[in-house]
Structures are given as C-alpha cells and as structure tokens.
Amino acid sequence: MVVEPEHLEENRVRRHTDEAVQASIDESTRRNLAYFAAQPAAILDGRVEELDWERDIEQVLEMNAATLAFAGAALGTIVNRRFFLLTGVVLGFLGQHAIKGWCPPVPILRRAGLRARTEINQEKFALKALRGDFAELKGAADDERVDRALAAVAL
C-alpha cells in the first residue's frame, strides 16, 4: 500500500481510482520490486533509468487534451464550426481534472496501468534503497550527508 500526503496533486488521482484498480497498480509495483531486487546491479540500474522516462497519467492526459483541442480547433476552422465543440469539451475536462483530479479518461487510463508520478517515484526510490544508494548517508558529516542524500534522490 502506498502512503502519501493528502495535499499532493497525484493523490487526487489515487483517491478517484477504483479500489480494485488501485490495488492492481500497487501490486504491480510490488511485483516489480520483488523481481528487480533479485537482479544484478546493472539490470536494477536500467530499471531506475527506465522509470525516469515512464510517462505518468498527468502527462498522458495533458498530451491527449492538447492533441484533441488542437484537432478540434483545426477541424472547426477548416471543415465545420461544430468541431469547435470538441475543443470546448476537451478543455472543460482538462479544467475539471485540474480542479478535482478526475475527468472521464482517468478511469480508462488507470485501468490501462498508467501511474501517478508519486507511484512511479515510489518504485524508483525503493529500487535505489535496495541498490544501497542511501547506505552512504550513515557516518558522514552533516554537509556531506546532505550532498549524498540529494545525490541518492536525484530525479
């Protein structure tokens, strides 16, 4: 189970996700961690790098909304003014998501396994902990510990 502060934007997505879907996403993360914990360091390093490039649900929603809004505006200009409705609806959904953390595509994207950035980062930092990135923090002077801590959590 992922424990997160309630004020983070990504938590709105988790709160609006069906419990069974959320459990499936969390279990997938746990399986990933169990698998990669038993792998050689080079493979674990590759997974950490892979997670840096994984698209989160916010990025996918924004890209889809931009694409559909642009298409609606272009088609409204070239083909028929009714296509401007597409732009309006898409931007309305995007605004709703910005305020509430939910819009109609969210359940579909979550069922497809798209994760919030906090969920991706949880797996990433758990892998870094398994790799030993945080072990270097013990026994160092305060300034050095800060530098090492920042290096360990570098995105």
Question: Could you tell me if 132 and 99 lie in one domain?
Answer: no
128 and 140 share one domain? yes
User: Both 102 and 63 in a single domain?
Assistant: yes
Report H helices in the chain. 9-15, 19-37, 41-53, 57-78, 84-100, 105-111, 117-131, 142-152
CA gap 75, 84 in Å, rounded = 8
Residue with tokens 């004020």: 7
Judgement on whether residues 84 and 155 belong to the same structural domain of the protein:
no
**Residue 62: which domain range?**
57-114
- Contact assessment for residue 91 and residue 152, using Cβ atoms and an 8 Å cutoff: no
Judge contact between 36 and 130, C-beta under 8 A. yes
pLDDT in tens, 85-141: 999 999 999 999 888 888 899 999 999 999 999 999 999 999 988 888 877 777 767
pLDDT of residue 39 exceeding 50, the answer is: yes
Poorest-confidence range of 8-12, 20-24, 29-33, 60-64? 8-12
63 shares a domain with 48: no
Q: How many domains does the chain have?
A: 2
